[in-house]
Amino acid sequence: MELIVASSVGVLTAGGVYLLLRLRAFPVILGLSLLSYAANVFLFASGRLVINAPPVLNKYGEAVYTDPLPQALTLTAIVIAFGMTALLVMVALGAFIEADDDRIDMTEADGAGAASRKDGAA
């Protein structure tokens, strides 16, 4: 079971990094989502991978339980990742509407304009 979870974290991370290196806005957003999923699975697995175990000690004194802290942290991370994804989608949509293209690389005109603004010229 640990091998499957570790492999899935690796595959999600590799896919997320690959999509982050693309030059379009939508694959970058998907890549960030995949990286957040990989982090959530890793965080959730750090609390123990036990099937049918309670998240806290029970009244019968059984020693098998899962740690509830990674579960709570994972739920919090899911909410934060959802909000961040929604923000990135709105920024990418605004950029697409303004420029009629979703490429995120700089053109030479953008680079020259940034260099002249850095030197103090308008």
Q: Which CATH number goes with the domain that contains 73?
A: 1.10.287
Report the share of the chain in percent with pLDDT over 70. 80
Between CA 5 and CA 13, with CA 11 as vertex, the angle to 5 degrees is 100
Quote the pLDDT of residue 100.
Answer: 82
Q: Tokens 């509407």 sit at which residue?
A: 97
- Please report whether residue 21 resides in a domain: yes
Residue 101's domain comprises: 2-56+65-115
Q: Of residues 31 and 59, which shows the higher confidence score?
A: 31
Quote the pLDDT of residue 41.
Answer: 92
- For residues 2-8, average pLDDT: 90
Model confidence pLDDT, tens digit, residues 93-103: 988 888 888 88
Out of 6-15, 39-48, 52-61, pick the least confident: 52-61
Quote the pLDDT of residue 117.
Answer: 52
Mean pLDDT of the chain: 82
- Please report whether residue 120 resides in a domain: no
- Alpha-carbon distance of 96 to 93, in angstroms, equals 5
pTM: 0.72
- Please report whether residue 49 resides in a domain: yes
pLDDT at residue 8 is higher than 90:
yes
Q: Of residues 112 and 22, which shows the higher confidence score?
A: 22
- Please report whether residue 69 resides in a domain: yes
- Alpha-carbon distance of 85 to 37, in angstroms, equals 12
Domain count along the chain: 1
- Please report whether residue 37 resides in a domain: yes
Q: Of residues 114 and 90, which shows the higher confidence score?
A: 90
